[in-house]
Structure 1
């Protein structure tokens, strides 16, 4: 190799490179490849001269012409593409030689492993299966849509949770990991750092937040200090340039006072003959303050404070145990918990709900309406538009003579919901699934939709046969269907059906089963559809 001396800088002389460094400047790759020993040279000359050491006479033969470019199809690849045909004996010998390899039995090219040598004699692996057949006791529907609730699933998931901690290292979110330290001794109550001084009065926080000297420590010019006091606000104080706050009266507020206009966008969109409702506008303002208080209480509720604690405090001051307290006492108790009351808007609202009467408040009812876990209060609907102005004809309706007004009061807001809460809940039939009635809406199964019955063509589903109905409806349905039942038999069947359903009412399917059980009169063959 050519010398690499003085070509590189060795910045880490402690690290030695692999191999031996070359110092010969004339050495190169070509010279290294052409370096032959004397023995190799003599053997090469003997092979070229075709000399035999046993014979003294040298034999010279010309070398064959090895130019393969003009050889045509007679090349070295021909015996590979056209091998000689082997005899049966040669083929058998080659196959016997290959049986010693593992791939001949276990890894056959293009085939699977041959399991027959490891199986009992006469066993067909394509027909016989091993293991225990699984018990399919649950359907796919129960697995996808189980009848268990969320809390039941969470409860069952915690059964045996301690065993999964050890085997699978499975912990719940936020759960402390127990590593079972033995040596050295581990104290779970030990904390790092220095114990801080704590006083429930909060005096140390006050000392930390209060400066020992309010005046600035640095020495500045008095004219500059007075200028900064006039033009810049201090920490925790509002900006009052030139000490203008001292010249203004107490509780002075800057800006233009907000005055609510009598006619806003809502009033302008209505008829000019309809005056604005002052009570509705005041009620909206009261509800705004009430929702602000309710949100404040919801954020304040924690482990240290609950509404039950406030109720116990109010019960202590209610010496007569009458459920009411004076407003002054109620406000003083709430001030201990730092409740922000807008008395101007909350008192008229509580008087409207009859919670405040004669300067006394029913504190239990007040705690119920501000509790976010309970249902919100239901207010009355305000009819601020006169009845003669509620129904009118527009110019487009008058032009097309569209005088028919459809009453959509009892209709759903937007279409029919998937879960019909507006209809009575049907009973679950024997052997049926409650999920079909509660979570799948009015749609039947796929088989019924592909092959509908006569009831489905008339708009009836199987749920209509399980809806509880009263006595008059059941009797009229069966009479229109063609049954003739006297009063005595009907009363007997009705009582047995009530004992079967146990809901106080009876569904059509149950009454039909009872009717077939007692062999009532046969149904008419022809029924006038108009009478139904």
Structure 2
């Protein structure tokens, strides 16, 4: 049961009725899904839906302003599309008359432009009638429409029109190209242009650039080659031009200090960011010195994050030693450069450091060499440099440590015989045979073995997954691991015989980045890798190798063809497979 207050609409104090929003009792899914339990009410609370989006975006119409107000608005702020009318003339009857008045003369309508450009087609009767009227004119009889003008009535009688020509025969002369650019030397052209120019000098004042005028002066002390007057100052750099364009007061104002009001300068500093300064608009209200620091000053730790990760002891902390390590690196770089430019190999450089000939360098030898190279080093830094280069911590620097830490060992020869030479043997006590290794597997030159010196060892022998999986030595094989995703190169599916334009898959027949940056010598001639791998018939293979100069008998070619066809499951032979068989046979003949 509802009360009287609930049934009556709400009334405001002014007496107007207020419209309350309706409450929607239907679900938002009504009509979309079948309700299999209509007797069970939906969960939740019914709320007022309010106005729709269309009602919110469509505001109610504004009430009309009084006529007296609209008069003034039409003058200062007229509505869109309405002319501006002065409020004093709002009720002027002449304005209403002028709105309906038409000025000028009423023009009679004529043929429109469309009909004039595209006239309607004439009927056959009108066409014949116009043609009959046109026949009255003599011009139409002489040259009717669509036919050439007949000149025969004006010719004399008995004239052979097909063979007789009128006018004077033009003689063939030189072409326009030879006339514009004659086959003459510059000297001949200049001589021809000078002919008669003396007359033009007097009549037309035809003087060349820089040519002096002949004024017919004949005093005894006058000469054409003399110069009169004061020379104009000239500067090739343009300094005089800049000076003439800059006035004196402008130069003085640029050199002098610009005077600005302190009030303006303080306002600019407070409101505008200044270069190299922090923008602080409330600096004047804080009233603290410029070097004031807010908060509690925390004393920094003597160790850093790297020291904690590697578990360094207090005496080996690296925090705060960046400058010291940088100075040591600069000293090592200076010694490396001096050794590279002063000695021809590493052995000569080491003997220059080893003054005593003991095969090792002590701290006194290092100090003496630094003094000779004009490299002043403090004793503390010298001890640290000695400790940095001494890998085995025996207090000395041997040949291998000297080559690794104080030289560019890959750029200088070792000074010892080749490693692969059986007759050579290092009898010197400076280095042992095990400390010399070849520079590369194909090289016979020897070089000291590489020393790796790190600040810290790996934390608890930690190894990253990238260093363990697929490693060269002792790595884990990922052959049986499950693969996820789609491979970039789709070698798992066959290449379509006809590819669509939108097919951007790489089926393994496209070149990689290395092939694009370093193309083969065959690609210049339009031959690519797939041309070497395509299966070809026997006659084509024989013709290709015969054309490049490979001479063989027919029996030899048949044997090579059989060997190459046995390597393919279907017996196909390509240029690459046949070349591989040929190379193997030649290599076996050379070894035997």
Under a length normalisation based on structure 2, what TM-score does the superposition of the two structures give?
Answer: 0.23
Q: Highest relative contact order (Cα 8 Å, sep 6+), 1 or 2?
A: 1
